[in-house]
Structure 1
Amino acid sequence: MDVNIYGAVMPHLLDDEGFGFSTSTAGTIGSWTTFGMLIGALGCGTLTDWAGRKPMVTGSVVLFSLGSALCALAPGAAFFGAGRFVSGLGLGGLMPIGLAIVAEFAPPRRAALATGLMMTSYHAGGMAATGLGLALGPGHGWRVVFWTGVIPALVAVPLVVKWLPESPGVLLAKGRVREAEAVAARYHLPPPTPAEAPGAGARGRFAAVASLFAPGRRLATPLLWLASFAGLLLVYGVSTWLPELMRASGYSLSSSVTFLLVINAGGIVGMLVAGRTADRFGAVRVSAIWFVLTACGAFLLKAQLPLPIAYAVVFVTGVWLFSAQVMVYAATSSVYGPAERATGLGWVAGVGRTGAVVGPWLGGAVVAGGNASLGFTTFAAAAVLGAVAISLVPLVRGNGSDPGTVGAVPGVLGHREGKILPKH
């Protein structure tokens, strides 16, 4: 919800003459948000193995709710941008931690589906943000919409503190052996072993990062980063600028904002379809195909279509666009072992945030130039780049198999039950 609020109220911010927003300023501030997410993902993805999943989730939620409150109180664009940066720190930290938790606790042979199920909540929040923008923005102003971003700190944090389990591997690394075994037993996980526990101290953090370039991953890691860059450029560029691009293409303001609701509805369907498909055929294969289909959808939107057809194209593009990126995360979870998974996901999400920084800025530059068709072409090119990068991951790993397929990664992660398997 917090990520998508900005795009949902963008037309109202631009129409608020006293606030001093322009399309170029809006694009720059959108990039501040994603720059904060970059820092949050890199920092939290590495620190969570040391501090624990639960405290980092709690801190992340508090941070992005605080940032939303700062935006609601902002007297001008600079203060507003600072609020979006603070929100980005929390949002960037939350994503890789959530993905790592799901990967660790997912049932056997359902890791990709579990990842997709978790990410449907992202799009439910996006739809809520769009609904709030449509319902509250015109009559109550954009500030009220940002006040709703404080709700997670009041609702989610108490639930996280009470119910969210800590990683057995992290508990073991802290010497809390009985607690680690109790959590593993409660959630039907194998008892944690020292190999699954992250290393302690600064040396452990350095070793976790260095392991991302171990033999068999040396080329896969930068390719995952590149795929994540392309995917997040699409996700945040489209989420921020789709209403304005559609308005520049000749659609009305209300229809243009509704397109954001429709593409997120497609995103929910896409997560469910992609997760089940990836568990059967492999996350890499599904991600690559979904990226290609996203490029096709973006090219179709270059034409000014009749409104019902435009809604249909936006919906199916949402089915492909968002889940293409999430399947990059699903593949990442299989490339790295339990002790490095949170670090690997943090760096894939964090380095990928450079795409999230570029996307809103690039969209703002295109809209300022008055060429909506070029915007859709740019997003289509990013989708092709993502398809090429993720397709090369199995090839550079040397075994030619899809790392998103259960059992396809010798010596890293195997099923049943996510145990470490010996190399053969």
Structure 2
Amino acid sequence: MTSSRVSAGPQPPGRAPAHTFRSVLPVLALCWLAVFFDGMDVNIYGAVMPHMLDDPGLGLTPASAGTIGSWTTFGMLIGALLAGNLTDWLGRRPMLVASVTLFSLGSAGCALAMSPGLFGAGRFLAGLGLGGLMPLCLAMVLEFAPPRRAALTTGVLMTSYHAGGMAATGLGLTVAPAVGWRWVFWAGVAPAVIAVPLLLKLLPESPGVLLARGQRERAREVAVRYGLPEPTPVEAPAGGAKGRLAAVRALFAPGTRWSTPLLWLASFCGLLLVYGVSTWLPQLMRASGYGLTSSVSFLMVINAGGIVGMLIAGRTADRFGAVRVSALWFVLTAAGALLLREQLPLGVTYAVVAITGVWLFSAQVMVYAATDTVYGAGERAAGLGWVTGVGRTGAVLGPWLGGALAANGNESWGFTAFAVAGLVGAAAIALVPLAGRLGDRRASTPA
């Protein structure tokens, strides 16, 4: 497919439009749609879990439900690592299409599953696709975004995740009680029908990846059409196995060797919070004495808060820096989690859940935005892939931890665990600038 089919319209040769926020909108819109379905698929499980636990034909228990949630995120871990290191070989657009197709097939498998084991296999397959999609979309929008609008663009992209989460909650509240939880998972097949054709027809390939693959003219044409600076060899990810290994080694170069593990730790804590809450919030609130409808509704409320938080965090981070915003947001998330341990009136609880959503999800997304200040263009995809991939170990732990606590009747301790994760994440991301200065100083010191 030629690049003439992936742009909004022809541009005179050599005359690029201004590189403004508007110029990234076509790419942002397509990635927004893909991440919307990502958020819907991730949140479907939590939205229908109470119904699945009540289904005697499936045989799901709280402990096995937590384990299956971890299978999903383990698949995400593998998918994120593979996507970040294969994108320069296969291209970002084909990898995005493959990711969407995989999690749609996984959702179909879940709808057909007649046992927890088969259901878990479907969630693992979905996880492979979900894990690859997020870092690829982030890398795409960061590459096409104006430098001073990177955090805002990232925040706008991630509103789609929470819009998808709200859609999943709506399905859990309406479809699952009416016709059963399996039909909610059938809705997860929609991305293969809706998003894949649009991505194939309209999404441009990364100019940096095109240049790395020797397609200089196509790289230049895409850059001109979207108002980007023409990519140079130093900004392109090196191709082949040696290039992918070099990209990983670059994450531990003198200027980044201390920042990289701190970003990984912050991402671990952030994803533990995101996936622990997304999987277990309805069941934790149900165990606290709230009704089934109210318990599932909390998932919609926290995702609504997440949308507001993304917009606030993106604009605030463009002014004050992603690191500062992420650290503060982690601390506020910890405070919200501790408040949810208390027995509060229903209206107050809804307010606390919404406000916690403002901070919780965007704290993690600002970790992603912070990678743009740590890694250069050639290492950005690998850096994001590893930050999200290693962070997925937190996503694996979060659902398992919630299941273990629920199985032992200690659901309230889940909120304490989330608060601790928030404080550790705040400390890790706050130390990134200091680690970068330390690495630069050591690199500049004569041997």
Band the TM-score falls in, shorter-chain normalisation? over 0.9
Q: In the TM superposition, what is the alpha-carbon distance from 1:336 to its structure 2 partner?
A: 0.8
Separation of aligned partners in 2, 1:381 and 1:252: 27
Separation of aligned partners in 1, 2:336 and 2:239: 47
Separation of aligned partners in 1, 2:108 and 2:412: 35
What's the counterpart of residue 241 of structure 1? 280
Kindly provide the amino acid, as one letter, of the partner of residue 391 in structure 1. Answer: A
Separation of aligned partners in 2, 1:259 and 1:306: 14
Which stretch of the first structure deviates more once superposed, 223-232 or 364-373? 364-373
Name the % identity. Answer: 73
What's the counterpart of residue 70 of structure 1? 109
What's the counterpart of residue 98 of structure 1? 137
What's the counterpart of residue 140 of structure 1? 179
Match of 1:188 among 206, 222, 227: 227
Match of 1:52 among 91, 95, 106: 91
What's the counterpart of residue 229 of structure 1? 268
The 5 A counterparts of 1:23-422 are 23-398=62-437
Aligned-partner SS, 2:370: helix
Q: In the TM superposition, what is the alpha-carbon distance from 1:9 to its structure 2 partner?
A: 0.4
Separation of aligned partners in 2, 1:350 and 1:131: 29
For residues 279-338 of structure 1, the C-alpha deviation after alignment (integer angstroms, 9 at most, x for no partner) is 000000000000000000001111111001000000000000000000000001221111
Separation of aligned partners in 1, 2:190 and 2:213: 33
Kindly provide the amino acid, as one letter, of the partner of residue 87 in structure 2. Answer: T
Pairwise CA RMSD: 1.2
Separation of aligned partners in 2, 1:330 and 1:369: 38
Which stretch of the first structure deviates more once superposed, 83-92 or 165-174? 165-174
Separation of aligned partners in 2, 1:198 and 1:301: 45
Query: Which contiguous aligned blocks of 4+ residues in structure 1 show a shift greater than 4 angstroms?
Result: none
Kindly provide the amino acid, as one letter, of the partner of residue 114 in structure 1. Answer: T
Aligned-partner SS, 1:285: helix
Aligned-partner SS, 2:189: helix
Separation of aligned partners in 2, 1:178 and 1:298: 52
For residues 182-205 of structure 1, the C-alpha deviation after alignment (integer angstroms, 9 at most, x for no partner) is 100111110010001111111001
Q: In the TM superposition, what is the alpha-carbon distance from 1:372 to its structure 2 partner?
A: 2.6
What's the counterpart of residue 403 of structure 1? none
What's the counterpart of residue 404 of structure 1? none
Separation of aligned partners in 2, 1:200 and 1:177: 14
Separation of aligned partners in 2, 1:173 and 1:372: 50
Separation of aligned partners in 2, 1:52 and 1:174: 9
Kindly provide the amino acid, as one letter, of the partner of residue 122 in structure 2. Answer: G
Q: In the TM superposition, what is the alpha-carbon distance from 1:50 to its structure 2 partner?
A: 1.7
Separation of aligned partners in 2, 1:115 and 1:200: 26
Aligned residues of 2:402 and 2:411 also touching (Cα < 8 A): no
Separation of aligned partners in 2, 1:187 and 1:335: 25
Aligned residues of 1:302 and 1:372 also touching (Cα < 8 A): no
Separation of aligned partners in 1, 2:237 and 2:318: 27
What's the counterpart of residue 445 of structure 2? none
Q: In the TM superposition, what is the alpha-carbon distance from 1:108 to its structure 2 partner?
A: 3.1
Aligned residues of 2:207 and 2:222 also touching (Cα < 8 A): yes
Which stretch of the first structure deviates more once superposed, 391-400 or 125-134? 391-400
Listed as ranges, the gaps of 5+ residues in structure 2 are 1-39, 442-447
Kindly provide the amino acid, as one letter, of the partner of residue 69 in structure 2. Answer: G
Q: In the TM superposition, what is the alpha-carbon distance from 1:399 to its structure 2 partner?
A: 7.0
Separation of aligned partners in 1, 2:61 and 2:233: 54
Aligned residues of 2:207 and 2:231 also touching (Cα < 8 A): yes
For residues 354-381 of structure 1, the C-alpha deviation after alignment (integer angstroms, 9 at most, x for no partner) is 0000000001111112123211111000
Separation of aligned partners in 1, 2:283 and 2:149: 38
Separation of aligned partners in 1, 2:184 and 2:150: 35
Kindly provide the amino acid, as one letter, of the partner of residue 363 in structure 1. Answer: G
How many aligned residue pairs are there? Answer: 402
Which stretch of the first structure deviates more once superposed, 118-127 or 328-337? 328-337
What's the counterpart of residue 8 of structure 2? none
Report the TM-score when normalising by structure 1. 0.94
Separation of aligned partners in 2, 1:265 and 1:399: 39
For residues 136-177 of structure 1, the C-alpha deviation after alignment (integer angstroms, 9 at most, x for no partner) is 111111100000000000000000001111110111111111
Kindly provide the amino acid, as one letter, of the partner of residue 8 in structure 1. Answer: A
Aligned residues of 1:32 and 1:357 also touching (Cα < 8 A): yes
Report the TM-score when normalising by structure 2. 0.89
Aligned-partner SS, 1:213: coil
Aligned-partner SS, 1:364: helix
